[in-house]
Amino acid sequence: MAVSVVSLIIMREHITRRRALKSLGVAGAAALAGCSDGDGTPTGGDGDDGGADTSADGGGDGTDGDAATDDSGMNGTATGTASSVSGEVTIGVLQPMSGNLSYYGQQGLWGFLSGLAYKAGADPAGTVGTGETTVTVGDVDYRLLVRDTEFAADPAQLAATSLVRDDGVDMLFGCSSSSAAERVIGQVVSQAQVPFVAGPAASAAITSSGDYCSDLVFRASENTAMDARSGGRYVANETDVSRVFLFGADYSFGRAVVNNYESVLQDNGVEIVGKRFVEQGYAEWDGLLDNAEEAGAEGIVGGFTVTTLPNLFSSFLSGDYSYRAFGGFATQITNQVVGNTMESVLGSPLTAEKIEDSQLGPFTTRYHWNQYDNEINDAFVDSYTNTYEVVPDLFTSGTFTAASAIHQAVQTSGSTEGADIAGAMKGMTVADTPKGADGYTFQEYNNQARSEMTVASPVPTSDEYADTWGASIMPGEPQARISGENATIPADSPDMNCSL
């Protein structure tokens, strides 16, 4: 695995970090003065609440050594050489804590707090806003400095700059917006040489493009490529669909969904009978859906977020089409809107028969609370629901795993220094995750964690979750599982332009 070489390289970068901080204020201010990075809309797992996305990112099988006992309590185990570690790790947390998409930030932060709490054998901290929160795991204090990114690149860069320059954080974590994560990587991480664990920002480019991937950038959270590649594999291998029409939003998220679906479907013998990109919020769907019917489509895929999906689904459900609609389960926000749309068209209450006859799904999911049956997930769901009064959602497994990995890396490296933590995370198999023991592995060629994906059909929300899942539809029982290796962009793929 050549950990010693990687560690040496990162340690050397760490030596220059203090010098880099002195110039970061000037460089960061200059970058901010002339930057405009879009309108802050979701870019695919950034909060890609995008209901109809399904893809994947990575391969790789690096592991981190022999199992050892973690001294942090509650079922926690570390992979690698056990060591007695004490001290403090200061982590700058970047999430949208205000505005219409603050729920994305809450998910990201609550998952992260739950990961640390699990390692400590405790319940997660309650509602945490911007400011400082300390979580103790064993003899290590994790000092979290939470900052509001407002789901936009400019505030994220400004906050990251201040965290590194003024607060001297050991590492950064977060960003729900992919454009924000990419800006932080380009303007702060690369200059200050501070480790960054991205999430839940889901643009595949963060860990597949040479413009952003580096030895300092990690992501445990799933991405748009994992959505699409797992969904495409399911459609090709588990259904009778042989002809597909692809729709997507005309920006990075929608194009990533469509491009990854196209690649996987064609590789598995499915014909693409058409592609169409439309602006966000597009409403004139009758004609486009008719085009798919005329092209002989047996299935359609829509790479859209909550701004477009209700219009698409309303037209689809109101029409008489012979094909099915595939995609990805999104967060509670989108499921609320889609469920309301289905009730308005199909009638209330929704029934399993109505949903089945609608030809919507099955859909892939990165994670939902009811898709994994193991002791770690059981404990996670119980503690998360008791603390936050809602079940864990789409983004929470990835950010739980990010926190779990950071503590595991502290134990493995025997250090609380950011550079040492990053070195230990290289190729790590994360012991404690909601997808089960050893459920995520950071691929050595791009530092993206690969993990299993599931496929499920929408069903009416059961009485058991009526008070903790604020939508009328939810994922049903898992119908298929796609391994992490098959869900990720392989190292030798033309779509993988990262080689660490």
Which CATH number covers residue 132?
3.40.50.2300
State the burial class of residue 375 (Cβ atoms within 10 Å of its Cβ: 0-12, 13-18, 19+).
Answer: exposed
**369 occurs within a structural domain:** no
Domain assignment of residue 244, yes or no? no
The domain containing residue 139 runs over which residues? 3-221+394-449
Please name the amino acid found at residue 146.
Answer: V
* Domain assignment present for 205: yes
Question: Does residue 155 belong to any structural domain of this protein?
Answer: yes
In a domain, 477, yes or no: no
Instruction: Give the pTM.
Output: 0.85
Residue 430, domain member (yes or no):
yes
Is 460 within the bounds of a domain? no
Is 351 within a domain?
no
Domain count, the chain: 1
Rounded CA-CA distance 376/398 in Å is 14
Q: What is the pLDDT along the chain (500 residues), one digit of tens a residue?
A: 333 333 232 333 333 443 444 445 433 333 332 333 333 334 434 444 434 332 223 233 333 333 333 333 344 443 334 458 999 999 999 999 999 899 999 999 999 999 999 999 999 999 899 999 999 999 999 999 999 999 999 999 999 999 999 999 999 999 999 999 999 999 999 999 999 999 999 999 999 999 999 999 999 999 999 999 999 999 999 999 999 999 999 987 888 889 989 999 999 999 999 999 999 999 999 999 999 999 999 999 998 888 898 899 899 999 999 999 999 899 999 899 889 999 999 999 999 999 999 999 999 999 999 999 999 999 999 999 999 999 999 999 999 999 999 999 999 999 999 999 999 999 999 999 999 999 999 999 999 999 999 999 999 999 999 999 999 999 999 999 999 999 999 999 998 999 99
